[in-house]
Amino acid sequence: MTSPHILGGKEPCIRQRDPPPPERCTAHKWLNEKAREEFANMAPGPFELYLSKLAEEKIRNHATNAAGDRLEVMGLLLGNVFRSNGTVYSLVRDVATTDLDSSSVRVRFSRDGMEKLFTALEDAGFNYVIVGWYHSHPGHRCFMSPTDVETQKVIFNKSFHSAIVIDPINKEIDSFCMENGKVRSRPFAVYWDEYQNPYFGETVKRKRLANDPKHIRSGKH
């Protein structure tokens, strides 16, 4: 596996690749009115950030599970960076996290949990770039605090780096990035792969497997 790009260093090799098609993308149901407006203005894309259904579920579940105790959570966004028709975009395929030191207003990776985090990164199962981070603001809405902005400036300062902020109590989510030294909102789309169930929906298409009796009877390969 190639080494993840986290701090400084070289920009990743950006390959040409079409983003997920609009029919397999949607706005997150927790977008506030302003973010939903920004999504509508960007649709059908390309967006600068695409969040997989798998990664979205992990982020939402992580934040929701800690919401009862009003604890913040955080993790890393694992994915790839591509270019399409002049637009550079990040594709978040999965996330990684570990044990946390957290309260209702701050969060950081536990020093004792770093080995667990490195194991999660090694076990990702695909070559990836760390394309940003996520954290929660339980009950405080979605924004970038001064500490968040400093973290973004120091650690996640590449153009493809994003910060996803989620409030599981008010059911709100947003994404941010740095541009010319300032924070701005970054509209994003939730996407699913061809044979996955769509986000919060029904099955798109049933994948035929080699051991599917109907497939075997049909004689098609």
CATH of the domain at 52: 3.40.140.10
Q: Which two tokens stand for residue 151?
A: 């973290």
Q: Is residue 2 part of a domain?
A: no
The number of distinct structural domains making up the chain is 1
Q: Is residue 185 part of a domain?
A: yes
Q: Is residue 6 part of a domain?
A: no
Q: Is residue 139 part of a domain?
A: yes
The domain of 77 spans 15-218
Angstrom distance (rounded) from CA 209 to CA 135: 38
Q: Is residue 4 part of a domain?
A: no
Strands (E), the chain: 15-16, 25-26, 49-52, 74-84, 87-96, 100-102, 107-109, 129-136, 162-167, 172-179, 182-185, 188-191
Q: Is residue 1 part of a domain?
A: no
Cβ neighbours for 201, distance < 8 A, ≥ 6 positions apart: none
Q: Is residue 5 part of a domain?
A: no
Please check whether residue 179 is in contact with residue 152, taking contact to mean a CB–CB distance below 8 angstroms.
no
Please check whether residue 133 is in contact with residue 153, taking contact to mean a CB–CB distance below 8 angstroms.
no
Tens digit of pLDDT at every position of the chain (221 positions): 334 444 344 567 899 999 999 999 999 999 999 999 999 999 998 999 999 999 999 999 999 999 999 999 999 999 999 999 889 999 999 999 999 999 999 999 999 999 999 999 999 988 899 999 999 999 999 999 999 999 999 999 999 999 999 999 999 999 999 999 899 999 999 999 887 777 765 444 444 444 444 443 444 43
Angstrom distance (rounded) from CA 29 to CA 200: 9
> Strand 87-96 relative to strand 172-179: parallel, antiparallel, unpaired?
unpaired
Q: Is residue 162 part of a domain?
A: yes
Which of 148, 170, 145, 152 lies closest to 70 in space, CA to CA?
170
